[in-house]
Amino acid sequence: MKRPGRNEPCWCGCGRKYKACHSAFDDKMLTFGDKGILLPDHDIIKTPEQIEGMKKSAAINMAALDYVAEHIKAGISTQDIDDWVSKVTLDMGGHCAPLGYEGFPKSVCTSINDVVCHGIPSKDEILKDGDIINVDVSTYYEGYYSDSSRMFLIGEVSAEAKKLVDDVKRCVEIGLENVKPWTTLGDMGSKINEFAMSCGYEIVREIGGHGIGLEFHEDPYVSYVTKAGEEMLMVPGMCFTIEPMVNMGKHDIYIDDDNGWTVYTEDGTLSAQWEVQIVVTEDGYEMICW
Protein backbone atom coordinates (compact mmCIF):
# COMPACT_ATOMS: atom_id res chain seq x y z
CA MET A 1 0.00 0.00 0.00
CA LYS A 2 1.49 3.35 -1.05
CA ARG A 3 0.74 5.92 1.65
CA PRO A 4 1.20 9.69 1.51
CA GLY A 5 3.15 11.54 4.18
CA ARG A 6 1.08 12.54 7.19
CA ASN A 7 0.96 16.19 6.14
CA GLU A 8 0.53 15.49 2.43
CA PRO A 9 -2.88 15.60 0.68
CA CYS A 10 -4.93 12.46 1.26
CA TRP A 11 -5.07 9.91 -1.55
CA CYS A 12 -8.88 10.23 -1.73
CA GLY A 13 -8.63 13.67 -3.31
CA CYS A 14 -10.60 15.51 -0.63
CA GLY A 15 -7.87 18.12 -0.18
CA ARG A 16 -7.35 17.45 3.52
CA LYS A 17 -4.10 16.28 5.04
CA TYR A 18 -3.65 12.51 5.08
CA LYS A 19 -3.32 12.38 8.87
CA ALA A 20 -6.74 14.00 9.27
CA CYS A 21 -8.46 11.83 6.66
CA HIS A 22 -7.59 8.24 5.67
CA SER A 23 -4.50 7.58 7.79
CA ALA A 24 -6.43 5.69 10.51
CA PHE A 25 -8.44 3.92 7.79
CA ASP A 26 -5.23 2.62 6.21
CA ASP A 27 -3.84 1.62 9.60
CA LYS A 28 -6.93 -0.52 10.15
CA MET A 29 -6.65 -2.10 6.69
CA LEU A 30 -3.04 -3.03 7.33
CA THR A 31 -3.99 -4.98 10.45
CA PHE A 32 -6.00 -7.28 8.15
CA GLY A 33 -3.20 -7.36 5.60
CA ASP A 34 -0.88 -8.62 8.32
CA LYS A 35 -3.22 -11.61 8.65
CA GLY A 36 -2.83 -12.41 4.94
CA ILE A 37 -6.16 -10.96 3.83
CA LEU A 38 -6.23 -9.35 0.38
CA LEU A 39 -6.60 -5.56 0.65
CA PRO A 40 -8.28 -3.25 -1.89
CA ASP A 41 -6.19 -0.69 -3.73
CA HIS A 42 -6.98 2.92 -2.95
CA ASP A 43 -8.17 3.57 -6.51
CA ILE A 44 -11.18 1.25 -6.17
CA ILE A 45 -12.44 2.99 -3.02
CA LYS A 46 -15.03 5.53 -4.14
CA THR A 47 -15.38 9.08 -2.88
CA PRO A 48 -18.78 10.58 -1.95
CA GLU A 49 -18.69 12.58 -5.19
CA GLN A 50 -18.08 9.45 -7.25
CA ILE A 51 -20.89 7.62 -5.47
CA GLU A 52 -23.27 10.46 -6.35
CA GLY A 53 -22.17 10.16 -9.98
CA MET A 54 -22.92 6.43 -9.95
CA LYS A 55 -26.37 7.10 -8.51
CA LYS A 56 -27.20 9.39 -11.44
CA SER A 57 -26.14 6.67 -13.85
CA ALA A 58 -28.15 4.13 -11.86
CA ALA A 59 -31.31 6.23 -12.14
CA ILE A 60 -31.17 5.75 -15.91
CA ASN A 61 -30.35 2.06 -15.58
CA MET A 62 -33.32 1.41 -13.31
CA ALA A 63 -35.66 3.47 -15.50
CA ALA A 64 -34.78 1.23 -18.44
CA LEU A 65 -35.47 -1.91 -16.41
CA ASP A 66 -38.73 -0.42 -15.10
CA TYR A 67 -39.84 0.13 -18.69
CA VAL A 68 -39.01 -3.47 -19.54
CA ALA A 69 -41.00 -4.66 -16.51
CA GLU A 70 -44.05 -2.70 -17.68
CA HIS A 71 -44.01 -4.00 -21.26
CA ILE A 72 -42.43 -7.47 -21.34
CA LYS A 73 -44.80 -10.30 -22.29
CA ALA A 74 -45.17 -13.34 -24.51
CA GLY A 75 -44.97 -12.55 -28.21
CA ILE A 76 -42.35 -9.81 -28.06
CA SER A 77 -38.82 -10.38 -29.34
CA THR A 78 -35.63 -9.91 -27.41
CA GLN A 79 -34.74 -7.27 -30.01
CA ASP A 80 -37.79 -5.35 -28.80
CA ILE A 81 -36.23 -5.36 -25.32
CA ASP A 82 -32.95 -4.08 -26.77
CA ASP A 83 -34.80 -1.29 -28.58
CA TRP A 84 -36.68 -0.27 -25.40
CA VAL A 85 -33.55 -0.14 -23.27
CA SER A 86 -31.62 1.78 -25.92
CA LYS A 87 -34.37 4.39 -26.32
CA VAL A 88 -34.91 4.98 -22.59
CA THR A 89 -31.17 5.21 -21.99
CA LEU A 90 -30.47 7.60 -24.86
CA ASP A 91 -33.52 9.74 -24.10
CA MET A 92 -32.17 10.25 -20.57
CA GLY A 93 -28.72 11.21 -21.83
CA GLY A 94 -26.94 7.93 -21.09
CA HIS A 95 -25.19 5.30 -23.16
CA CYS A 96 -25.73 1.53 -23.12
CA ALA A 97 -22.46 0.21 -21.71
CA PRO A 98 -22.63 -3.27 -23.32
CA LEU A 99 -22.87 -1.92 -26.89
CA GLY A 100 -19.47 -2.49 -28.47
CA TYR A 101 -17.90 -3.63 -25.19
CA GLU A 102 -15.17 -6.06 -26.28
CA GLY A 103 -17.22 -6.49 -29.45
CA PHE A 104 -20.61 -7.21 -27.87
CA PRO A 105 -23.14 -6.36 -30.62
CA LYS A 106 -26.19 -5.19 -28.65
CA SER A 107 -27.25 -2.72 -25.96
CA VAL A 108 -28.51 -5.25 -23.38
CA CYS A 109 -28.16 -8.93 -22.47
CA THR A 110 -31.29 -11.10 -22.66
CA SER A 111 -30.81 -14.60 -21.25
CA ILE A 112 -33.70 -17.07 -21.54
CA ASN A 113 -34.20 -20.39 -19.69
CA ASP A 114 -30.91 -22.35 -19.96
CA VAL A 115 -28.91 -19.27 -20.96
CA VAL A 116 -26.79 -18.30 -17.97
CA CYS A 117 -25.76 -14.84 -19.23
CA HIS A 118 -24.73 -12.73 -22.22
CA GLY A 119 -27.70 -13.67 -24.38
CA ILE A 120 -27.72 -11.54 -27.53
CA PRO A 121 -31.06 -9.94 -28.48
CA SER A 122 -32.57 -10.94 -31.82
CA LYS A 123 -35.74 -10.16 -33.75
CA ASP A 124 -36.08 -13.90 -34.32
CA GLU A 125 -36.06 -14.79 -30.61
CA ILE A 126 -39.68 -14.55 -29.43
CA LEU A 127 -40.70 -14.87 -25.80
CA LYS A 128 -43.30 -17.53 -25.15
CA ASP A 129 -45.51 -18.55 -22.27
CA GLY A 130 -43.50 -20.39 -19.62
CA ASP A 131 -40.14 -18.74 -20.31
CA ILE A 132 -37.98 -17.16 -17.64
CA ILE A 133 -35.65 -14.38 -18.77
CA ASN A 134 -32.89 -12.29 -17.25
CA VAL A 135 -32.56 -8.75 -18.61
CA ASP A 136 -29.15 -7.28 -17.75
CA VAL A 137 -28.84 -3.51 -18.22
CA SER A 138 -25.65 -1.48 -17.84
CA THR A 139 -25.38 2.30 -18.25
CA TYR A 140 -22.66 4.87 -18.77
CA TYR A 141 -23.50 8.45 -17.81
CA GLU A 142 -21.17 11.41 -17.36
CA GLY A 143 -18.16 9.26 -16.53
CA TYR A 144 -19.88 6.70 -14.31
CA TYR A 145 -21.15 3.15 -14.77
CA SER A 146 -24.13 1.35 -13.27
CA ASP A 147 -25.26 -2.24 -13.67
CA SER A 148 -28.23 -4.36 -12.56
CA SER A 149 -30.44 -7.16 -13.84
CA ARG A 150 -33.85 -8.61 -13.09
CA MET A 151 -35.65 -11.86 -13.79
CA PHE A 152 -39.04 -11.89 -15.51
CA LEU A 153 -41.61 -14.69 -15.66
CA ILE A 154 -43.45 -14.89 -18.98
CA GLY A 155 -47.05 -15.99 -18.61
CA GLU A 156 -47.63 -19.16 -16.61
CA VAL A 157 -44.31 -20.72 -15.68
CA SER A 158 -43.70 -24.05 -13.99
CA ALA A 159 -43.63 -24.21 -10.21
CA GLU A 160 -39.96 -25.26 -10.22
CA ALA A 161 -39.01 -22.37 -12.52
CA LYS A 162 -40.77 -19.85 -10.29
CA LYS A 163 -39.10 -21.36 -7.22
CA LEU A 164 -35.69 -21.04 -8.87
CA VAL A 165 -36.28 -17.37 -9.66
CA ASP A 166 -37.54 -16.66 -6.14
CA ASP A 167 -34.71 -18.60 -4.51
CA VAL A 168 -32.05 -16.78 -6.52
CA LYS A 169 -33.54 -13.45 -5.49
CA ARG A 170 -33.23 -14.70 -1.91
CA CYS A 171 -29.56 -15.51 -2.64
CA VAL A 172 -28.99 -11.83 -3.39
CA GLU A 173 -30.86 -10.79 -0.25
CA ILE A 174 -28.64 -13.11 1.81
CA GLY A 175 -25.62 -11.55 0.14
CA LEU A 176 -26.82 -8.08 1.11
CA GLU A 177 -27.35 -9.20 4.71
CA ASN A 178 -23.71 -10.23 4.80
CA VAL A 179 -22.14 -7.11 3.34
CA LYS A 180 -20.32 -5.82 6.41
CA PRO A 181 -17.24 -3.61 6.48
CA TRP A 182 -14.04 -5.22 7.69
CA THR A 183 -15.18 -8.71 6.70
CA THR A 184 -14.26 -10.49 3.47
CA LEU A 185 -16.06 -11.10 0.22
CA GLY A 186 -15.74 -14.79 1.03
CA ASP A 187 -17.77 -14.27 4.20
CA MET A 188 -20.60 -12.96 2.02
CA GLY A 189 -20.19 -15.34 -0.92
CA SER A 190 -20.07 -18.46 1.22
CA LYS A 191 -23.48 -17.61 2.71
CA ILE A 192 -24.96 -17.27 -0.76
CA ASN A 193 -23.49 -20.60 -1.79
CA GLU A 194 -24.74 -22.34 1.36
CA PHE A 195 -28.30 -21.26 0.64
CA ALA A 196 -28.15 -22.15 -3.07
CA MET A 197 -26.83 -25.61 -2.25
CA SER A 198 -29.50 -26.12 0.41
CA CYS A 199 -32.07 -25.61 -2.36
CA GLY A 200 -30.38 -28.24 -4.54
CA TYR A 201 -28.79 -25.77 -6.97
CA GLU A 202 -25.21 -25.05 -8.02
CA ILE A 203 -23.61 -21.65 -8.64
CA VAL A 204 -21.56 -20.93 -11.75
CA ARG A 205 -17.89 -20.75 -10.81
CA GLU A 206 -16.28 -19.04 -13.80
CA ILE A 207 -18.38 -15.86 -13.81
CA GLY A 208 -19.21 -13.65 -10.85
CA GLY A 209 -19.71 -10.10 -9.69
CA HIS A 210 -17.29 -7.25 -10.14
CA GLY A 211 -16.24 -3.84 -9.00
CA ILE A 212 -17.79 -0.98 -10.96
CA GLY A 213 -17.98 2.78 -11.04
CA LEU A 214 -15.29 4.54 -13.05
CA GLU A 215 -14.97 1.49 -15.32
CA PHE A 216 -17.52 -1.07 -16.43
CA HIS A 217 -15.57 -3.87 -14.75
CA GLU A 218 -13.12 -3.15 -11.94
CA ASP A 219 -11.60 -5.07 -9.07
CA PRO A 220 -12.65 -6.90 -7.00
CA TYR A 221 -13.86 -10.07 -8.69
CA VAL A 222 -16.77 -11.33 -6.59
CA SER A 223 -17.06 -15.11 -6.31
CA TYR A 224 -19.92 -16.97 -4.67
CA VAL A 225 -18.16 -20.30 -4.22
CA THR A 226 -15.26 -19.27 -1.97
CA LYS A 227 -14.92 -19.90 1.74
CA ALA A 228 -15.49 -17.56 4.66
CA GLY A 229 -12.39 -15.51 5.40
CA GLU A 230 -11.17 -15.67 1.81
CA GLU A 231 -11.07 -13.06 -0.96
CA MET A 232 -10.75 -9.27 -0.61
CA LEU A 233 -11.53 -7.28 2.49
CA MET A 234 -14.75 -5.25 2.24
CA VAL A 235 -14.17 -1.64 3.32
CA PRO A 236 -16.32 1.50 3.26
CA GLY A 237 -16.35 3.05 -0.21
CA MET A 238 -15.87 -0.23 -2.09
CA CYS A 239 -18.47 -0.61 -4.83
CA PHE A 240 -19.37 -3.92 -6.51
CA THR A 241 -22.19 -6.03 -7.90
CA ILE A 242 -23.84 -9.02 -6.27
CA GLU A 243 -25.04 -11.32 -9.06
CA PRO A 244 -24.84 -15.06 -8.42
CA MET A 245 -25.67 -17.11 -11.52
CA VAL A 246 -27.50 -20.14 -10.19
CA ASN A 247 -28.23 -23.30 -12.16
CA MET A 248 -31.04 -25.69 -11.35
CA GLY A 249 -28.68 -28.53 -12.24
CA LYS A 250 -24.90 -28.67 -12.28
CA HIS A 251 -22.66 -25.62 -12.35
CA ASP A 252 -20.97 -26.54 -15.64
CA ILE A 253 -21.36 -24.12 -18.53
CA TYR A 254 -20.30 -23.67 -22.15
CA ILE A 255 -20.04 -20.68 -24.49
CA ASP A 256 -21.76 -20.52 -27.88
CA ASP A 257 -19.16 -21.30 -30.55
CA ASP A 258 -20.90 -19.16 -33.16
CA ASN A 259 -21.14 -15.83 -31.34
CA GLY A 260 -18.48 -16.29 -28.66
CA TRP A 261 -20.66 -14.67 -26.01
CA THR A 262 -23.77 -16.56 -24.96
CA VAL A 263 -23.23 -18.82 -21.95
CA TYR A 264 -25.43 -21.93 -21.49
CA THR A 265 -25.84 -24.54 -18.77
CA GLU A 266 -23.99 -27.68 -19.85
CA ASP A 267 -26.85 -29.96 -18.83
CA GLY A 268 -29.63 -27.83 -20.34
CA THR A 269 -31.26 -27.01 -17.00
CA LEU A 270 -32.66 -23.59 -16.14
CA SER A 271 -30.46 -20.79 -14.81
CA ALA A 272 -31.42 -17.57 -13.05
CA GLN A 273 -29.68 -14.39 -11.92
CA TRP A 274 -30.57 -11.15 -10.18
CA GLU A 275 -27.99 -8.38 -9.99
CA VAL A 276 -27.66 -5.36 -7.72
CA GLN A 277 -24.91 -2.76 -7.34
CA ILE A 278 -23.94 -1.65 -3.85
CA VAL A 279 -21.39 0.44 -2.01
CA VAL A 280 -20.02 -0.69 1.36
CA THR A 281 -20.70 1.78 4.17
CA GLU A 282 -19.50 2.15 7.76
CA ASP A 283 -22.36 -0.02 9.04
CA GLY A 284 -23.32 -2.22 6.07
CA TYR A 285 -24.15 -1.17 2.54
CA GLU A 286 -26.08 1.33 0.43
CA MET A 287 -27.95 0.10 -2.63
CA ILE A 288 -26.90 1.98 -5.75
CA CYS A 289 -28.72 0.11 -8.52
CA TRP A 290 -31.30 -2.68 -8.68
The arrangement of strands across the sheet holding 209-211 comes to: 218-222, 209-211, 239-242, 276-280, 285-289
Query: What is the reported pLDDT for 72?
Result: 98
Instruction: Average pLDDT across each block of 10 residues of the chain; the chain has 290 residues. List them in order.
Output: 93 94 97 97 96 98 98 98 98 98 98 98 98 98 98 98 98 98 98 98 98 98 96 98 98 98 98 98 98
Task: Name residues whose C-beta falls within 8 Å of residue 122's C-beta, 6 or more positions apart in sequence.
Answer: 77, 78, 79
Sign of the Cα torsion 14, 60, 106, 251 reads: positive
Task: Name residues whose C-beta falls within 8 Å of residue 20's C-beta, 6 or more positions apart in sequence.
Answer: 10
CB of 244 within 8 A of CB of 168? Answer: yes
Query: What is the reported pLDDT for 1?
Result: 79
CB of 274 within 8 A of CB of 152? Answer: no
Residue spans of the domains in the chain: they are: 36-289
* CATH number, span 36-289: 3.90.230.10
